[in-house]
């Protein structure tokens, strides 16, 4: 009797794989340059690491099996394995290892080549990670540049996914894009809260030092850099949700449409954060101008108050005969000398108060 198809597939994979591990054990996260991870997925079985990378092409020929190959700053030997076993175009591989590549999606017939910028946060600092993807019907190849984007969350989601979407290359591509876009939303919310906190401190006068303007400009730069990483994701997802990608099943398209909606929401949050940053800059400049105007007004009031005093003391200093003859007692001194100065000051203060200048 012939064995069931699933048993034949399992037997064919045993020669290329190690012993099965517990779900989540075959991680594709890594961390060091040159590190590689290669796992094979068959149905709902746990991921099995492929010990012999030269057998990847044989594994790809098995039914219901697909391979996830991950590399961090791959070496020439690793690139040769990727090129030969997955039959990838040399130009796509060159773009995958090229630093600061612009996010994009290209079709190479039987597979897609995607460049994505993912983001993480460390100590309130946003880090942009470059991630290149080769997505075929039977494989996913991820090439990560340093600093390497962590894949632990992607692996956890993929290992624990329900029955709504089968575990195939399309499902893994969805988990990768969805996890990255969720990271966009978290960072966008962080910037919104940061700018709102700065605005609140400016309104309450808790933080009006000159260095806060430098912090706002630094945040404006970070938001702009972050937005340049997020916006291309919308163009990457557009051909996928239109159904132009043949490697995806029809029932998988709505999931990518949901990722597209989340991307648009993250972009809207970034636009709002950018507007808030511009408002914070304008608010800081306005507060500085108001404080300067207030100081100028106070100095002007003081100078104006001393103006009649200077006039009176100068007038008395002329030693007119009337003044010399009539200010001969202490009483006349207080009335004509000091009294006129006090009356002048009080008159000016009353006038300023009536004009609400202070």
Task: Match 């746990």 to its residue by tokens.
Answer: 46
The closest of 231, 232, 234, 212 to 271, measured between CA atoms, is 231
pTM of the model: 0.72
The closest of 239, 279, 280 to 256, measured between CA atoms, is 239
Mean pLDDT rounded to a whole number for the chain: 79
- 3-class state of residue 22 by DSSP: coil
Between 59-68, 132-141, 168-177, 199-208, the lowest mean confidence (pLDDT) is in: 199-208
| Distance spanning both ends of the chain, measured CA to CA | 102
Contact 144, 70 (CB under 8 A): yes
- Dump pLDDT digits (tens) for 324-349: 666 777 787 777 777 877 887 788 78
- 3-class state of residue 143 by DSSP: strand
Write down the pLDDT at residue 336.
72
Contact 137, 169 (CB under 8 A): yes
Write down the pLDDT at residue 67.
92
| Whether residue 23 has pLDDT greater than 50 | no
Write down the pLDDT at residue 26.
39
Write down the pLDDT at residue 11.
46
The closest of 188, 230, 273 to 103, measured between CA atoms, is 230
Sequence-distant (6+) residues with CB within 8 A of 22 are 46
Please give the helix or strand (H or E) that residue 125 lies within, else none: strand 125-136
Percent residues over pLDDT 70 in the chain: 81
Q: How would DSSP label each residue in 274-301?
A: HHHHHHHHHHHHHHHHHHHHHHHHHHHH
| Whether residue 94 has pLDDT greater than 80 | yes
Sequence-distant (6+) residues with CB within 8 A of 287 are 202, 208
Write down the pLDDT at residue 33.
80
Write down the pLDDT at residue 286.
73
Identify the structural domains of the chain with CATH numbers, from first to last.
5-286 (3.30.460.20), 295-354 (no CATH)
Please return the burial class of 145, using the count of CB atoms within 10 Å of its CB with bins 0-12, 13-18 and 19+: buried
Write down the pLDDT at residue 8.
39
- Dump pLDDT digits (tens) for 136-164: 989 999 999 888 899 999 998 888 876 55
- Dump pLDDT digits (tens) for 249-261: 788 888 899 999 9
Write down the pLDDT at residue 249.
78
Percent residues over pLDDT 90 in the chain: 18
| 1 pLDDT tier (thresholds 50, 70, 90) | very low
CA distances from 38 to 52, 126, 153, 174, 272 (A): 9, 29, 17, 19, 41
| Whether residue 20 has pLDDT greater than 50 | no
Write down the pLDDT at residue 273.
80
Q: What is the DSSP letter of 54?
A: G
Please report the sign of the dihedral spanned by the C-alpha atoms of residue 229, residue 246, residue 87, residue 9: positive
Please report the sign of the dihedral spanned by the C-alpha atoms of residue 223, residue 226, residue 230, residue 231: positive
């Amino acid at each position: 009797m012939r064995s069931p198809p699933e048993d034949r597939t399992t037997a064919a994979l045993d020669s290329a794989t190690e012993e099965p591990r517990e779900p989540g054990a075959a991680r594709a996260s890594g961390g060091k340059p040159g590190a590689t991870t290669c796992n094979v997925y068959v149905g709902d079985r746990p991921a099995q690491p492929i010990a012999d990378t030269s057998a990847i092409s044989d594994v790809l020929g098995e039914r219901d099996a697909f391979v996830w190959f991950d590399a961090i700053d791959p070496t020439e030997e690793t690139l040769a394995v990727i090129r030969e076993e997955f039959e990838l175009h040399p130009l796509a591989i060159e773009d995958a290892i090229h630093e600061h590549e612009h996010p994009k999606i290209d079709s190479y017939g039987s597979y897609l080549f995607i460049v994505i910028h993912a983001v993480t946060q460390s100590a309130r600092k946003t880090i942009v990670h470059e991630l290149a993807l080769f997505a075929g019907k039977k494989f996913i190849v991820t090439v990560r540049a340093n600093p390497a984007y962590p894949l632990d969350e992607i692996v956890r989601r993929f290992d624990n996914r329900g029955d709504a979407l089968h575990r195939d290359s399309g499902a893994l591509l969805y988990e990768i894009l969805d996890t990255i876009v969720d990271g966009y939303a978290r960072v966008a919310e962080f910037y919104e809260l940061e700018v709102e906190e700065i605005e609140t401190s400016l309104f309450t006068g808790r933080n009006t030092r000159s260095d806060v303007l430098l912090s706002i400009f630094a945040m404006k730069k970070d938001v702009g850099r972050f937005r340049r990483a997020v916006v291309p994701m919308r163009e990457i997802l557009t051909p996928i949700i239109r159904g132009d990608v043949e490697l995806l099943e029809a029932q998988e398209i709505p999931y990518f449409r949901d990722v597209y909606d989340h991307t648009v929401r993250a972009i809207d949050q970034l636009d709002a954060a950018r507007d808030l940053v511009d408002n914070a800059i304008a608010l800081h400049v306005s507060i500085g101008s108001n404080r300067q105007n207030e100081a100028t007004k106070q100095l002007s009031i003081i100078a104006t108050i001393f103006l009649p005093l200077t006039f009176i003391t100068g007038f008395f200093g002329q030693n007119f005969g009337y003044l010399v003859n009539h200010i001969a007692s202490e009483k006349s001194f207080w009335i004509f000398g000091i009294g006129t100065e006090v009356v002048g000051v009080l008159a000016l203060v009353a006038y300023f108060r009536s004009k609400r200048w202070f």
